[in-house]
Amino acid sequence: MVRLRQRLARSQNSLGQGLLNLLSSDSLTEDTWEEIEDTLITADIGVTSATQIVENLRTRVKVLGTRGPDEVRGLLREELLDQIGADTDRTVRTEPHGDRPAVIMVVGVNGTGKTTTSGKLARVLIGDGRSVVLGAADTFRAAATEQLQTWGGRVGAPVVSKEEGADPASVAFDTVERGAQEGADTVIIDTAGRLHTKTGLMDELGKVKRVVEKKSQVDEVLLVLDATTGQNGLRQARVFAEVVNITGIALTKLDGTAKGGIIVQVQRELGVPVKLVGLGEGPDDLAPFDPEVFVDALLT
């Protein structure tokens, strides 16, 4: 968790000095409140959440007669945590069912970090003493399969793959079967993310899910979102949420220029918790999402 804090502090997520200065101003005037709201919107928190946060904050400051910058900052922290859902269950479900492995489907648009996140997640689980099988169900690009194989080698997980153009559902089926044969705890299936048509995507992911359910059950559908893509990423997320029942979000590339507030918006829009955050390209750059650490980094 220390690492998450350090990484976020190094990235450009922070709401920065601007907000702290605003909160420190002698009198919280109408203009100051507006500027606070603008700062929150600039951080990608979204207009609805920003408005609500400022409204609640204003009421509480008034009712409590709170003026000191530290107190206002504390209240803002509480409001942000409230929006993010400090008590939300963010566990990634990885427990096997008897002799059948838990199944995690990783979905999202190409380039968001699906393969990388699949590899990094396998690394985390293996580090926890679990056994993992990876499935290369993005059969449309040979490079995607090769990339997953590289990750498998790197983290010590077998990779089930087929030739380019093979049926993604059959790769998923074989992955679950291999997982069961090897007594694996969890299988992670990396899927294709071509947003060519909504029906195409729906058919493909639906088929993968149905086929997996012949052998086990789908425990998690993790939607991978690139935090640097802002509104565009949100639009893509909506399409995925319409075609498949997403159970959690992995928000990648938070180490870069992303505005961290996107987490608030993503959850609000999709009603699905952010469970994992990607903080770099390396095997150890995946962390569970911790709202308190995140909000503290945002307010630093």
Q: Pick from 174, 172, 165, 121: which is nearest to 142 by CA?
A: 165
Per the annotation, where are the binding residues for GTP?
A: 108-115, 190-194, 252-255
How many whole angstroms separate alpha carbon 64 and alpha carbon 296?
23
> Among all chains, which residue has been given the structure tokens 């922290």?
77
Told to check if 112 binds ligand GDP by CB under 6 A, we report yes
- Asked if 152 touches ligand GDP (CB under 6 A), the answer is no
* Minimal CB distance residue for ligand GDP: 278
Chain position carrying tokens 């993503």? 266
Question: Does residue 256 touch ligand GDP according to CB under 6 A?
Answer: yes
Q: What is the spatial distance between Cα 58 and Cα 292, in angstroms, rounded to a whole number?
A: 22
Q: Write the single-letter amino acid at 255.
A: D
The three-point CA angle 117-149-168 to 5° equals 80
Work out which of 123, 178, 215, 253 binds ligand GDP, going by CB under 6 A. Answer: 253
The SS3 of residue 104 is: strand
Distance CA 295, CA 84 (A): 9
Measured from the CB atom, the residue of 252 and 265 that comes closer to ligand GDP is 252
Residue (70 or 281) nearer to ligand GDP, CB:
281
The residue count for binding ligand GDP (CB under 6 A) is 19
Stretch in the footprint of ligand GDP (CB under 6 A) among 28-36, 61-69, 275-283, 287-295: 275-283
114 lines the binding site for ligand GDP (CB under 6 A): yes
Residue ranges that bind ligand GDP, judged by CB under 6 A: 108, 110-116, 147, 193, 252-253, 255-256, 278-281, 285
